[in-house]
Amino acid sequence: MSGGVEIPVVVSDIEQATPTVRRFRLTAASGQPLPHFAAGSHVVVMMESGERIIRNAYSLVDRAEDGSSYSIGVLKTRDSRGGSRFMHERVEVGSRLKISMPVNLFPVFAPGRRHLLVAGGIGVTPIYAMADELKRQGADYEIHYAVRDEAHGAFVGELRERHGDRLTLYRSDLSEVLAVREILPGQPFGTHLYVCGPQGMIDAVLEGGREAGWPKEHLHSEHFQAPPSGDPFSARLAKAGITCEVRSDQSLLEALEEAGVDAPFLCRGGACGQCEVAVVDADGELVHNDHYLSEDERSSGRKIMLCVSRLKGRELVLDL
């Protein structure tokens, strides 16, 4: 199986963390401890929705002390593919799901001397785990967390309790703005910054860091995204001799899976590179939505990442 090990879990607790965020506690169905994970990891949650399986990646918030469970935070969004809605509307205590092994594409920079954790909205989930790990190590860190208002800030109370004045909260209802140019000055040599949140925030923070003269090696972000929707198109697999239709609300990877193709994947968010496939032919423009391929690779038109990228055209022929 291309995605690796699948772990059956049971939803053992659901907490309404904010009006739009639920925290799900996922307990191993086997009773065996779940694997440890390094802060910043995510799992892919597999939801059986009638005929099809929805797969969404969620950052791990924590692991129970005894290893019996993980928790994840899920924002209710109008995502076209239905994963978030499924988690909010169909999953209840006792529901059975499957998850992948933890994968880490947003690790703490282990040799860093100081760590600035910057979160916006639901982007707080990996930051929560990273802050816990840095506290455990006795490391030097700060958390900067932007929320709409106190009620919409997931886990604010817990973060304040665990991290005290290492946490700075920015409430937009009070016109408080998380401005990276105010955070960066005076940070000592060896400081690393991590940002997770809406794309606009990530871009602004990274841009601010570069403007302040920070080396890009010290600026880290979680480039994780749901597969964007787009126009429907056909995908033909040259070797397998299969053709399938990719609906507008589906990723290319999901369409292949629906057609019974065991395609490779890990992050399903355009970051890891596992689902890179050679393009044989395309009668339109490739829409690259990943963060993996280089500019040269994109412009060559010879490669595509199945999980987030699409064709604006009629038929895409893949070397599969």
Q: Which residues bind another protein (CB under 8 A)?
A: 4-5, 35-38, 40-41, 101-104, 107, 109-111, 137, 217, 266, 272-274
8 Å CB contact between 56 and 45:
yes
- Minimum Å distance from CB 66 to another protein? 9
Nearer to another protein, 8 or 198 (CB): 8
Nearer to another protein, 180 or 271 (CB): 271
- Minimum Å distance from CB 234 to another protein? 29
Report d(CA 43, CA 104) in Å as an integer. Answer: 9
Report d(CA 242, CA 201) in Å as an integer. Answer: 41
Report d(CA 70, CA 208) in Å as an integer. Answer: 34
Nearer to another protein, 79 or 140 (CB): 140
Count of CB atoms within 10 A of residue 185's CB? 7
Phi/psi of residue 199, each to 5°? Answer: -55, -40
- Minimum Å distance from CB 103 to another protein? 6
Nearer to another protein, 78 or 136 (CB): 136
Closest among 114, 110, 180 to 141, alpha carbons compared = 114
Report d(CA 75, CA 318) in Å as an integer. Answer: 34
- Minimum Å distance from CB 245 to another protein? 29
- Minimum Å distance from CB 200 to another protein? 24
Q: How many residues does this entry show for the chain?
A: 320
Report d(CA 317, CA 222) in Å as an integer. Answer: 31
- Minimum Å distance from CB 137 to another protein? 8
- Minimum Å distance from CB 157 to another protein? 27
Report d(CA 254, CA 36) in Å as an integer. Answer: 28
- Cβ partners under 8 Å of residue 291, min gap 6: 223, 270, 271
8 Å CB contact between 148 and 170:
no
Nearer to another protein, 66 or 92 (CB): 66
